[in-house]
Chain A
Amino acid sequence: MDMSPSTIRPKLTARGVNVFYGDAQALNQVDLDIRAHEVTALIGPSGCGKSTFLRCLNRMNDLIEICRVDGDIRLDGEDIYDPAVNLVYLRARIGMVFQKPNPFPKPIYDNVAYGPKIHGLARSRAEMDEIVASSLERAGLWDEVKDRLDAPATGLSGGQQQRLCIARAIAVRPEVILMDEPCSSLDPIATARIEALMDELRQNFTIVIVTHSMQQAARVSQRTAFFHLGDLVEVGDTDTVFTQPVDPRTESYISGRIG
């Protein structure tokens, strides 16, 4: 794996990020760096702003009319909130996996092929087949679905659907994958598969995951950021945050007293 200085230089930087829903402030002056080829976990009690922050990173919050974001977020040094930014390119570089598996009501193949198709990544059917196969393989789903690529994706189990959604995101060849509580609707076995997958994926991708489960954050991430009531309270190496938290609020949360 590549452990050169690129691992240290942040992939994404957020400075002074404030988010408002109407008059209510959801995030307050958040500064956070996301390092390349690491899994960064965003943890905190419900309503703390961790999902809001995640959705700032690919400008998914743009879809919410009353949502206003200010501050500075950069991907490899480029301001993603620049009015000239093309959202199509931004989201091709920063993919997303959602809380509830949301496969399109189409065949398995078409689900994975959709992203490459709209971005024109395949010049031939054979190339598309290759992208679909390798994406499903990397998502650990290929062996289970290779014989029924034409079957509707909605017929898969929840865990399979979520891995399909990961394959769908990978197929666009993003640099960053945002995961918004990707295991919250899955059973422990499916969760374990996806956690193992994350560790493999970070070789090629930068991963930011929002999770409610502190055990999950401890298992899968290298860096952990703790949010509380819209503030980024603490960020650091996962080991340090869980064993020697600096802030008393982090301490209380990880020991189960708040949240």
Chain B
Amino acid sequence: MAEAVTAGESAPRSSLLAAPEGRRARQVLGERILLGLLAASSVVAILTTIGIALSLLFETLRFLDAVPLFDFLFGLNWSPQIAIREDQVGSSGAFGVVPLLVGTGLIAAVAMTVAGPLGLFSAIYLAEYASPRARSFAKPILEILAGIPTVVYGFFAVLVVAPFVRDSSEAAGFEVSSESALAAGVVMGVMIVPIVSSIADDVISAVPQSLREGAYGLGATKSETVRNIVLPAALPGIGGALLLGVSRAIGETMIVVMAAGLSAQLTVNPLQAVTTITVQMVTLLTGDQEFDSPKTLAAFALGLLLFIATLILNLIALMLVRRYQERYD
């Protein structure tokens, strides 16, 4: 310490380069431990994601040893039965994913037909029209929708919506199967409303007030301002909100397991039963399974497919939302 005392004024000061002592030293240690803990947590999360992705990838490669990639991606027939005995009837499994993609797409389309307009319109109402009081009341309630367990939506779909769809379509003279893409899709759409509305609300609210004032200052009415200025300005972000909704729709499992059905039909008629990627993954993996049969491994291939699809959708959506926010910061 002696050399740190310079010909200074009042109290002797330590050199800037001296090692910390006492309380200061403990603080430095504390800082390091905290940093380590925080960094380790994020490393664990990242490694887990990478691990899952890799395991999906490796099991998929094993699956592709048994089933050619082309047959998997472009096959029109999905019936993953594998013979227990060599001479069993219908022993060959077919792993064409197209019917599952179409079924998934069909249900997602029905869901977005419900969630898109409902989510957007409620976001516009909340962001532009609702009084602060109405907003503070309506927004939490909308967000409660997001907190309902999907299994509850599932049995709601089976017990209420599916019979309603069946009865009303039959009354109108259509042929309906008891499990329909329509019932599952509509209920899924209701589930997705808060996702779309909450993100769209954020993007619409982020449109600078100065643009609204500019339009009002020119004599635009409220709806002109919203339609001509605010919504076009928010459009990329709204696109992002819708894509996040789609991504949620294709990954959703419980509602479709309960309400959509198992038969892998290649149809775009929403009154028919269809099946989805997620439903098939559940069926392939529940019960006693050989771990190395193509049937089990197919679940991993489906999982990878789903993972890639949602990843791409989420990336595009986040890019849209973020680019939009940068523009107005």
Contacts and interface: CB of A to CB of B under 8 A. Distances in A.
Given A106-B232, A114-B228, A87 B213 contact: no
A94 to B, nearest CB: 9
A100 B216 CA distance: 15
A64 to B, nearest CB: 10
B210 interface: yes
B221 A58 contact: no
Interface residues of B, number: 21
Interface in A59-102: 60, 63, 65, 87-92, 95-96, 98, 100, 102
Given A58-B217, A98-B217, A119-B219, A104 B233 contact: yes
A169 interface: yes
A145 B11 CA distance: 67
Contacts, number: 68
Contacts of B220: 88, 114, 118
Contact of B208 (A88, A89, A102, A119): A102
Counting chain A CB atoms within 10 Å of each CB, the highest count among B132, B214, B215, B216 belongs to B214
Counting chain B CB atoms within 10 Å of each CB, the highest count among A58, A98, A104, A168 belongs to A104
A169 B210 contact: no
A172 B219 contact: yes
Given A88-B219, A102-B213, A115-B219, 9 more contacts: A60-B216, A89-B219, A91-B216, A96-B213, A96-B217, A98-B213, A105-B211, A106-B232, A169-B218
30 contacts: A63-B216, A88-B219, A91-B218, A96-B217, A98-B210, A98-B214, A98-B217, A100-B210, A102-B208, A102-B210, A102-B211, A102-B213, A104-B214, A104-B215, A104-B229, A104-B233, A105-B211, A105-B233, A105-B327, A106-B232, A114-B215, A114-B220, A115-B218, A118-B218, A118-B221, A118-B228, A165-B214, A169-B217, A172-B218, A172-B219
Interface of B: 131-132, 208, 210-221, 224, 228-229, 232-233, 327
